[in-house]
Structure 1
Amino acid sequence: MTPTTETMVGIGGAAESTDMVLNIGPQHPSTHGVLRLKLVLDGERITSAEPVIGYMHRGAEKLFEARDYRQIIMLANRHDWLSAFSNELGVVLAVERMLGMEVPERAVWTRTLLAELNRVLNHLMFLGSYPLELGGITPIFYAFTEREELQHVMEEVSGGRMHYMFNRVGGLKEDLPAGWTTRARAAVADVRSRMDRFDDLVLGNEIFRGRTRGVGVLAPEAVHAYGVSGPIGRASGVDFDLRRDEPYLAYGELQDVLKVVTRQEGDCLARFECLLEQTHNALDLADACLDRIAELPPGPINQRPSPASDSTTARCSGWRPPHRRPRSRPPRTSTNPSAGHAPPTTRPARPTPCAPPSTGCARRSRTSSTRCAPCPAARTGSPWSSG
């Protein structure tokens, strides 16, 4: 008979105080970055979490340095895939503020509208996926149903479902399609009519409330220390919202509609309640923007120049946008002087045209200070005509 060895493992009372160390990531399929979390669990409760962020750096800052302000919009667009429009907005607002650029009113209100629709898309993803972590499968299907309603109108106006690339420095890419505001208003009304599913199905569920109340409490002192903002900070009682306290876009005219939602508990339940109530308010803000856009007269949607609209500029056929350098040709010379050709000559450089005269020559050539013939500034000694 083959001898065997048996090992007895005894588990006594000490096992109750043994913590489990759990690694999440860095290969999680939905973390584009990638984030690794080292968690210490006591049963189902996380007692400590150590984020390992070394996997996340993608060099966006260096990529920004090697591109101009128009090109970095695409990079910022991807910082938060659920808030792509707002990511673009942060870049163009900063550039416009540095340049002192005034954006057309129609663009301001359209940006505000699309920002609020994008906010609803963002919050719906969280409101549907968070119950999924607790075993509630149904809310995620409702969330995606409502997201598709709004996703259709966002895709129609921008051409993209995830990365819209609709903002431009000075306004928006183009005006709204014909009839789009009517379809957007219908989508907002449809989503609002079904938002009570989350109030009843999720917040009304005693299991959900029991497993989120008092969990993950974030004190106001920690909010200030870490610079936490948005619904997470407001759920801990920090009453701060840039849309109200430092208004941008059209929020200064929407103070009667804007509602800053706060809670005092600072737990998971309070954060969910803030997000849900803020989603309701975002739909109200979107309706207010649609009403204001309907009252606006026709006008430009951006500050893009239209050189073909000026007759003098049309005659200046060599006009080029400022980001393109005019091609330079080598001097024309004779290749065979002994054959009786004229001695080598150099063709005089053609003057580089400037911006339309109606704009007062606010644009200078990147390669030369010369002016085109129709430009009055070349004859009157504008300060732009000197090197």
Structure 2
Amino acid sequence: MTTRRVLIVTIPPYEGGVPTKARILARHLQRLGHDVTVAHYAVLSREPELCAPCWSWRTPALRAGTVFDGVPSVAVGCRFPELEFPYYHCSALWRKTIAAYDRHIAVGGNILVSNLLHESGVKHMTWAGTPFFEDRQDRQATMPVLRKLVDRVVLSPLLARLEHRLLTAGAPILCVSRYTRRRLQELGGRADRLHHVPVPVDLDLFFPPTTPASAGVIGFAGRINDPRKNIGLLLDALALARRSGTALTLKLTGEPDVTLREKVKEKGLDEVVTFTGFLTPAQLPEFYRSLDVFALPSHQEGFGIVGVEALASGLPIVSTRCGGPEDYVQDGVNGYLVDHDAKAMAESLTQIVADRPHRSALSHEARRMAEERYGLGPFAQTVGDVWESVWGDRP
């Protein structure tokens, strides 16, 4: 095998599912012997010294560093970052960065970040999680009035057109779920260029506890302040279940913003909701093993990586019908799928917690599915096949 210099182009790799995907892919390619670098656009709020906003005469810059505990990285600044779409423009800085590598892969929530590779003219593939608008609509609802107006009238239409151009350009797209593949095809993507490639889970890292957790400990991991995660629904379900006599408690990763903390207080749940603070990837397995049931209350998920991590940890899942999780939550087999309804979620959580033999059966099936479908083997095979279709060799 020839060692390749691989550039993974992605969004800022700080939190959420996209950095998890980028980390998994980078580690996989490193294990195969390749030299891997992660490049991301620098955002004004976190790396202002690299950006050149409209009120500044500063020249955009780049900065080398590391991410994911030692993977080389490059942060690339741009002009006018406050307009957002310049993040996806292939500037001279980006062209110079891209030209130094011989294999290129874009990793994003949506496919927009792949425009950096598309404009540069290099062969590439993209690993994507969700269509642009479905990734956008909940965030748009929370924007200030003027920002929301600009987004609806100018930015979102521009970015939606860019998405369509990329979908029809023909570069292969790895879709994290059947839901994502179907939606991208409906938006204009070519069926023969859309490949189903779920996010794998490390089965040696995420595994069931030797001693089961206490009954009734419900959990969620993710960006709890993101409106798309719909934590309010889970709080409503928790309150309903407790009023009906089921002693549920809830553990949430991260730090709540003022709005979320007030919701917890308003519902009288201060004593039964615990916020763990931000957890590192190394801390997440123990978090899952401390739970009895995992809940996914999201409005929309392209995949829901935390759900597969929960499966591998032997956790039954109660999820809304929100897209990606419908690939791996089998109703009545390893968990339950419910509508966006607090009463339905409360009833499913209560059913699992109250019936311990049933909970054990769901747990067994959860782990079995993770082992059969979401290990590294199937992921490596499909990524290798698409790699070969682009560059003519195996990774």
TM-score by length of 1: 0.22
Between structure 1 and structure 2, the one with the greater Rg is: 1
Comparing both structures, which one devotes a greater share of its residues to strand? 2
